[in-house]
Structure 1
Amino acid sequence: MGQILVGTCSWTDSALLASGWYPPGRRDAEGRLRHYAERFPVVEVDATYYALPSVRNSLLWVDRTPEGFRFDVKAFSLLTGHPTRSKALPSDLRDAFARRGRPGQGDDDPGLLDEVWRRFSEAVLPLRDAGRLGTLLFQLPPWFAPGATAEVLLDRCRKRTEGWPVAVEFRHPAWWQEDRCVATSALLRDLGLASVSVDVAPNLPLSLPPVTEVTAAGPAVVRFHGRNAAWGSGTKEERFRHTYTDGELTEWLPRLTEMSRRAEQLHVLFNNCCGDAAVRAAESMERLLAGAS
């Protein structure tokens, strides 16, 4: 059975910083990460979605965390077909960025994406070399629907990231509809990409079912986004405002146990980043898993 690591999708979210969860004397950048890493064994790096990471930060993160700690690093927005600000790119890449094709539609500039990936992976390399990297999370946009174009883009992603652990989160519901689920799982297995399972509010236009496929070696990932009815339509604060009850978390215990039997390691991450709701949910999940073992 694989080890289950529980944590949150950020340790620097502004709502968490304002909640008072970090004690006095540990509210600077170094103190926050050291405090977090004393309480949880895994965290998702969200900032790398908005801007390319740096080698310096990766080295600092290694220095401030213990052996066995894992960082799941979110892929930069341009690599996943999301809208990206020109200023988020290094100045020498902005001309190529302005000339690119439609993001996520199969006609992006592959040379630009290759270079962005090269810089992204070089910056994250210290985490991998130190044994701190869990996986690279490619969260795909809601308009990334199943089809031939999507499969070509996924194959390009696989080739570009060869040798790195990659987990893919689909947000278009069609990927995991009952009549498509087997084909989606087979596609990810063929590409060697891990499937990300999610918990979201049910019965909404963009809701995804709690599919728990394990499709690749390396860490499997479950992300708890909260069950707010504004998921997929409201502001960021509205989408993620949710306090998980023990009953809602308990629903997942048999699923997590079964996934851990099939995965080398299972990362359970809470993304309901409103105040300290994510860290409290992670603490509750750790307690429930310990009681079920």
Structure 2
Amino acid sequence: METSRIEIGCQGWNYDDWIGRPSARSFYPQGTRSSEMLDLYARAFGTVEVDSTFYAIPAETTVRNWCARTPNGFTFALKLVQRITHERELVGSEAELMEFCARARALGEKLAAVLVQLPPTFDASPSRAAALRRFLEALPSDMRFCIEFRHSDWASVNTLAMLNERGVAFALVESPWIAREIMWRLATAQTLDFAYVRWMGARDLVHFDRVQRPQDDNLRAWSELLRDLARRNVRVFGYFSNFYEGHAPASANKLKRLLGQKTTGPEDLETQPSLFD
């Protein structure tokens, strides 16, 4: 099936709100400890986006622990550290970039991609465009990179061509920063063999234990786009934020069902044996 090229997961796995309570089931079984969450998550999803790497380069022991606790075929997408993207705005960051990439390589085949998330203030001014071009030239060619722009000036075929020439994907993001219609046109124009998708949402929710704003119509439209990409032999990595509908695991499973993929819900996690039993 072409949808086997589509890998769907969540933006992170360590959320207390995902733990069930006596009165309500969420995602993880009641009483789940933080140290058990990745093991449980990996039974339901085959990929995850790691947010913690945005704040600091992970220790080598941490990366090796992620590998050891997940099955073969599981993948991690790492967010590039914010000192490079937000504090330095890609300027003068070559040494730290190489350090980050060396740590990411420890994942081996479990590395999905590195997400370069740029701030909304990173516009397409000449100085920032020059910084982006220099940054792209410094990226190693042995791993996947994608760039998320949060300024609409970058939503153009010229930007797409510049990225694709270097083998870098334009991150496809459901968000308020770039209109969905423009994002979808860029998706069909990409020339790479992989795509990176993120489903965001207004940051006005305070609990993440259940779906609070269903996006069923939106997800059906996205599922058709992802099927089209898969038919073109594009490998898709897609990740949900809790803010999209209120509960990322439910959103991810909803899309997986639309794609005809097998899902694992909270009721399954309560009865499945451990990966390491």
Cα pair 1:43 1:269 within 8 Å, conserved: yes
CA distance in structure 2 between the aligned counterparts of 1:46 and 1:53, rounded to whole angstroms: 11
Q: Which residues of 2 match residues 228-247 of structure 1 at below 5 A?
A: 228=202, 237=206, 243-247=213-217
Cα pair 1:171 1:208 within 8 Å, conserved: no
Cα pair 2:114 2:145 within 8 Å, conserved: yes
The alpha-carbon distance between structure 1 residues 69 and 184, as it changes in their structure 2 partners (threshold 3 A), is same
The answer for the alignment partner of 1:51 in structure 2 is 56
Cα pair 1:242 1:274 within 8 Å, conserved: no
CA distance in structure 2 between the aligned counterparts of 1:140 and 1:11, rounded to whole angstroms: 23
Q: Which residues of 2 match residues 42-81 of structure 1 at below 5 A?
A: 42-80=47-85
The answer for the alignment partner of 1:9 in structure 2 is 11
RMSD: 2.7
Instruction: Classify the secondary structure of the residue corresponding to 1:251.
Output: helix
Identity percentage over the alignment? 28
Deviates more, 1:2-11 or 1:117-126: 117-126
The answer for the alignment partner of 1:209 in structure 2 is 180
- The answer as to 2:29 corresponding to 1:23 is yes
Unaligned runs of 5+ in 2: 262-277
CA distance in structure 1 between the aligned counterparts of 2:20 and 2:193, rounded to whole angstroms: 34
The alpha-carbon distance between structure 1 residues 242 and 276, as it changes in their structure 2 partners (threshold 3 A), is closer
The answer for the alignment partner of 2:146 in structure 1 is 167
CA distance in structure 2 between the aligned counterparts of 1:274 and 1:253, rounded to whole angstroms: 15
The alpha-carbon distance between structure 1 residues 207 and 242, as it changes in their structure 2 partners (threshold 3 A), is farther
The alpha-carbon distance between structure 1 residues 266 and 16, as it changes in their structure 2 partners (threshold 3 A), is same
The answer for the alignment partner of 2:267 in structure 1 is none
Instruction: Classify the secondary structure of the residue corresponding to 1:52.
Output: coil
The alpha-carbon distance between structure 1 residues 52 and 42, as it changes in their structure 2 partners (threshold 3 A), is same
- With normalisation by structure 2, the TM-score equals 0.79
CA distance in structure 2 between the aligned counterparts of 1:217 and 1:255, rounded to whole angstroms: 15
User: Pick from 111, 115, 129: which aligns with 1:137?
Assistant: 115
Unaligned runs of 5+ in 1: 84-102, 229-233
The answer for the alignment partner of 1:285 in structure 2 is 255
User: How many residues are matched?
Assistant: 247
Instruction: Classify the secondary structure of the residue corresponding to 1:134.
Output: strand
The alpha-carbon distance between structure 1 residues 260 and 14, as it changes in their structure 2 partners (threshold 3 A), is same
- The answer as to 2:270 corresponding to 1:265 is no
Cα shift at 1:173: 1.4
Cα shift at 1:218: 4.9
Q: Deviations over 1:115-155 (max 9, x none)?
A: 2123212222211x2x1000000011101112432332222
CA distance in structure 1 between the aligned counterparts of 2:14 and 2:103, rounded to whole angstroms: 19
The alpha-carbon distance between structure 1 residues 237 and 216, as it changes in their structure 2 partners (threshold 3 A), is farther
Cα shift at 1:71: 0.5
